Structure 1
Amino acid sequence: MSLYDLVGSDGVVITSERDLSVDSALGLTCSVLLSRGDVEPSYLEAIKEKHKDIGAYYVLAPKIAMPHARPEDGVNRAALQVTVFKNGVDLESSDNGEVYLAITLAAMDSDSHIHTIMALSNLFQNDDDIDRIIAANNESEIIEILQAY
């Protein structure tokens, strides 16, 4: 199973919006998951609440974020959403700066998504593919990259 299998043909959002608030950006990173019914609104609220409590725990590295909450916070099915912020977004991570790529993870439990985490880890370590995703002009270019993982 590739990352694409969890993203699907409609799981990519590319935005050129500027000056998004943290809440607006997080809402965007969950928008497809919510519209498809992969997660409940409580899942997005859990991400926002945890951010308020401990900060941008989901910003993993420069340019890259992986918003997520616990399965019991409202995951209906395992899924991923890819969001590209063409102009970057400040998610208040003092260590890593602006985020250009967010991959929102919705996992059913703590164990079954281990292969997904391994595939994401491989992607996140490939600077060329990260840069290609950020530079992509359309969803199909991003999907083609994801199919390799």
Structure 2
Amino acid sequence: MADFSTFLPDSAFALDVEAKDWREAIKLAGKGLVDAGFTTDDYTNQMIETVEKLGPYMVITPGLALAHSRPSDAVLHTGLSWVRLATPVEFGNKANDPVSLVIGLAGRDENEHLEVMSAIAKALMDQKKTAQLAAAQSPAEIRAILES
């Protein structure tokens, strides 16, 4: 089981913030990864380039984007950022827009990347937990829901 206190420290959160579009939402997720020491700014640019090249596939369920790029030298440590938007933004994914939660994911290698992704996916497939996460007021409360 992923240790969310390691992979998702307080510095990686931005709760109820504004973004004017999907690029700005990804930049906020990237800032959380950089602030937590997981990535360099290059990784944020790589996440944006991934959407520009491949489209909004990272909008994986209604309202949720899992912002990421391939493991690269811009990833210093495996980790997550958590951006809850005050006003949802469109990513261009007809089925799952608009997005109100952007989780930034940086993986040093494929195994760590998958371990963290599966732990997050498990929590987000539970509608009760998803509702609790949307209402949570602090990073500690969000981590507790994810770990329950």
TM-superposed deviation, 1:142: 1.4
Name the structure 2 match of 1:76.
76
2:102 is equivalent to residue 102 of structure 1: yes
Q: Which residue of structure 2 lines up, in the alignment, with residue 10 of structure 1?
A: 11
2:50 is aligned with 1:47? no
Native 8 Å contact 2:91 2:99 kept in 1 = yes
Query: Which whole-Å CA distance do the structure 2 matches of 1:96 and 1:60 have between them?
Result: 7
In structure 2, list runs of 5 or more residues that go unmatched: none
Q: How does 1:1-149 map to 2 (within 5 A)?
A: 1-17=2-18, 20-72=20-72, 74-148=74-148
Name the % identity: 23
Check whether the contact 2:40–2:74 (CA below 8 A) recurs between aligned residues.
yes
Structure-1-length-normalised TM-score: 0.88
Matching residue's letter, 1:79: G
Structure 1: gaps (5+ residues) = none
What per-residue deviation string (whole Å, max 9, x for no partner) do you get for residues 60-110 of structure 1? Answer: 010111100011151000111111113222222112111122211110011
Q: Could you tell me how far apart the structure 2 residues matched to 1:22 and 1:128 are?
A: 26
Secondary structure at the aligned position of 1:38 is classed as coil
1:133 CA drift (Å): 1.1
Give the RMSD, CA atoms, in angstroms: 1.7
Offset of residue 124 of structure 1? 1.8
CA–CA distance in structure 2, aligned partners of residues 64 and 74 of structure 1:
24
Q: Residues 86 and 134 from structure 1, CA distance in 2 versus in 1: closer, same or farther, beyond 3 angstroms?
A: farther
